[in-house]
Amino acid sequence: MTLKLQPPTPPPVTVSNEFHGLHVSARRADAVRLDWSTPVPRFGRVRVVGHTCECKARVYELCTSGGLAWVRRIDRHSPGETVRVTHPCRVGEAGELWALILAGEAR
Using the rule CB under 5 A, give the single segment among 15-23, 32-40, 87-95, 99-107 that binds Zn ion. 15-23
Q: Based on the shown chain and the rule CB under 5 A, indicate whether residue 32 belongs to the binding site for Zn ion.
A: no
Residue type, 25: S
Q: Are 58 and 74 in contact, with CB atoms under 8 Å apart?
A: yes
Sign of dihedral through CA atoms 40, 73, 99, 52?
negative
- Of the candidate residues 34, 53, 100, 103, the single one contacting Zn ion (CB under 5 A): 53
Nearest to 107 by CA among 37, 56, 53, 32: 32
Q: Based on the shown chain and the rule CB under 5 A, indicate whether residue 22 belongs to the binding site for Zn ion.
A: no
Using the rule CB under 5 A, give the single segment among 13-21, 65-73, 78-86, 87-95 that binds Zn ion. 13-21
Rounded-to-integer distance, Cα 102 and Cα 96, Å: 10
Q: Based on the shown chain and the rule CB under 5 A, indicate whether residue 47 belongs to the binding site for Zn ion.
A: no
Q: How many CA atoms lie within 13 A of 10 on its CB side?
A: 3
Using the rule CB under 5 A, give the single segment among 43-51, 54-62, 76-84, 98-106 that binds Zn ion. 54-62
Among residue numbers 55 through 94, which ones bind Zn ion (CB under 5 A)?
55
Q: Based on the shown chain and the rule CB under 5 A, indicate whether residue 28 belongs to the binding site for Zn ion.
A: no
